[in-house]
Amino acid sequence: MKRNKHSKRFARMFLNAVGMEKAPDALRELATLNALMEKSPEFRGFLVGPMFSIDERRKALEEVSRVLDLSSDTVKFVNYLVKAGAAAAIGEVADKAVVLYSDMKKLAKATVITPMPISTEYEGRLKESLRKLIDREVDIEYVTDPSLLGGILVSVGSTMYDGSIKGQLRLLKDELIKG
């Protein structure tokens, strides 16, 4: 898909239009519309293609919004994107809006990989440690990977923290080789 150079600006506009308190629900609604556009080439063509007038698109979007129970703010914003000729970028705008919202709210998403499920007590300690380390509230997704011999791998954004046995042995090997 062609990248829209204005998607970050549209994402800011969207968050300003819905407000920070309504943003989580509005972001889910935008993601739902994007999923519908991906699943239905007809719906995508209707919003993006040149065969229909702006008024026809607006009426159809109102019908879809009733079925999907979308807020009026989200519908107004999507109508704006349609008029601006940027409806094809709804997914990209939604992705950028999520990132902007997370930055504004100081939220981070982490993935924790362990060889076996961990206790809820350890989950709490890990969440608190990560919060202190990155100075943000952390939403953690836990993944169990039996091929991991022991320890833990934590990924926050593009940063990887390797506390696995294999990773520690690799570091020890590197130190021994250096001298």
Specify which residues 112 forms β-bridges with.
Answer: 142, 154
pLDDT-based confidence at residue 4 (cuts at 50, 70, 90): low
Q: Phi/psi of residue 35, each to 5°?
A: -60, -40
pLDDT-based confidence at residue 45 (cuts at 50, 70, 90): confident
With 50 as the cut, is the pLDDT of residue 7 above it? Answer: yes
How much of the chain, in percent, has pLDDT values that exceed 70? 98
| pTM of structure | 0.65
Listed by start position, the domains of the chain span: 7-103, 106-178
Average pLDDT of the segment spanning 107-116: 89
CA distance 168 to 179: 17
Better-scored residue on pLDDT, 4 or 171? 171
Residue 113's pLDDT is 93
Average pLDDT of the segment spanning 32-55: 87
Average pLDDT of the segment spanning 151-179: 88
> Which amino acid appears at position 161 of this protein?
Y
Edge-to-edge strand list for the sheet holding 159-162: 137-144, 107-114, 153-156, 159-162
For the chain, the DSSP string reads -PPPTTHHHHHHHHHHHH-TTTHHHHHHHHHHHHHHHHH-HHHHHHHHSTTS-HHHHHHHHHHHHHHHT--HHHHHHHHHHHHHT-GGGHHHHHHHHHHHHHHHHTEEEEEEEESS---HHHHHHHHHHHHHHHTSEEEEEEEE-TTS-SS-EEEETTEEEE-SHHHHHHHHHHHHHH-
The model's pLDDT over 49-87, given as tens digits with 9 standing for 90+, comes to 888 888 888 888 888 889 889 898 998 998 898 888 888
With 50 as the cut, is the pLDDT of residue 104 above it? Answer: yes
With 90 as the cut, is the pLDDT of residue 106 above it? Answer: no
With 50 as the cut, is the pLDDT of residue 2 above it? Answer: no
pLDDT-based confidence at residue 1 (cuts at 50, 70, 90): very low
Residue among 22, 14, 21, 1 nearest 81 (CA): 14
What's the chain's average pLDDT?
A: 87
CATH number of 106-178: 3.40.30
pLDDT-based confidence at residue 3 (cuts at 50, 70, 90): low
Average pLDDT of the segment spanning 150-159: 87
